[in-house]
Amino acid sequence: MRARYALRSVALGYLALLIAFPVALLLFRTFEGGVGPVWEALSSDEFLSALRLTLLIALITVPLNTVFGVLAAIALVRHHFRGKRLLSAFIDLPLGVSPVVVGLALLILYNRRDGWFGAWLAERGVQILFNWPSMVLATIFIALPFVAREVVPVLREIGTDQELAAQTLGASGWQTFRLITLPAIRPGIAFGVVLTTARALGEYGAVAIVSGKLVGKTATMTILVEEHFIRFDEVGAYAVSLVLALLALLTLVGMQRLKPREGR
């Protein structure tokens, strides 16, 4: 019994020191000077512009990666083809790539001077770098694996009996997918979407390299946190952080509600 309490105290103590206290302190520091300065920071044009940009990035990233994740999971679980293991490894690849490397890669591809596509696109008036498209590309890269990784185990678990029955009864592939497969994998998709959204709203490193960090123009909320911090505008940094932390909290609630199985 004593061992149990000891283990519990160590585990909870570690979590408190590493996670809970620091995040609680953020709340305290944000409102140290009252609500006024926080409200001012959150109603400024730079914040509204950052909020809009962050939402735009998430609104493009999440649907694209969701469709990709479902298609990829179906290919991985239901289809037989050579190179499947390789495809699976490539889908997980973004988990092992540093965000700054993603930013660097997009810089090499799309810069105007010697980018692989940069000059060609520039001639046609398309500006990828230092503009929202590159930030979307970076975010899509970073958040790519999440939906597929959640849907694959669900798809494997539900098996093919019902799908085969539908086919036998004359359902088309699309009907089978829409009426049988999709409802069954919906929880997995939902969980994956929550993870993808959290990642899309909070990405920093990759986006920081390709954005050019123009406050009021190409600064997302995370970039705004850093910009406030290095300009010694602490209340501004805390206020934006608090909004991001609240979004993270919403994510946690979503994860608890939707968790299809223990763990990821």
Partner 1 sequence: MSTVLGTAGVGAGAERAAPARRLDGAPLTRGVVVAYLSLIVLLPLAAVVARSIEGGADGFWRAITSGPAVAALRLSLVASLIVVAINAVTGTLIAWVLVRDDFRGKGAVNALIDLPFALPTIVAGLVLIEIYGPRSPVGINVTYTKLAIGLAMLFVTLPFVVRAVQPVLAELDREMEEAAAALGASAATTFRLVILPALLPAILSGAGLGFARAIGEFGAVVLISGNIPYQTEVAAVRIFIQVENDRTAAAAAIAVVLLAISLGVLLAIALVERWSLKHEG
Segment 98 to 137, residues that bind partner 1, using CB under 8 A: 98-109, 116, 137
Name the minimum Å distance from CB 65 to partner 1: 9
Q: Which is nearer to partner 1, 38 or 195 (CB)?
A: 195
CA distance 51 to 224: 10
Footprint on residues 154-213 left by partner 1 (CB under 8 A): 160, 163-164, 166-167, 172-174, 176-177, 180-181, 195, 198, 201-205, 208-209
Name the minimum Å distance from CB 122 to partner 1: 17
Half-sphere exposure of 112 (CA within 13 A, CB side): 10
- Report whether 244 contacts 201 (CB < 8 A): yes
Q: According to CB under 8 A, which one of 33, 90, 119, 120 is a site residue for partner 1?
A: 90
Q: According to CB under 8 A, which one of 237, 239, 258, 260 is a site residue for partner 1?
A: 237
Q: According to CB under 8 A, which one of 48, 59, 93, 126 is a site residue for partner 1?
A: 93
Q: Which residues contact 21 (CB under 8 A, 6 or more apart)?
A: none
72 closest CA partner among 170, 10, 147, 22: 147
Q: What sign for the dihedral angle of Cα 108, 147, 249, 262?
A: negative
> SS3 of 229, please?
helix
Name the minimum Å distance from CB 35 to partner 1: 19
Q: According to CB under 8 A, which one of 46, 51, 55, 68 is a site residue for partner 1?
A: 68
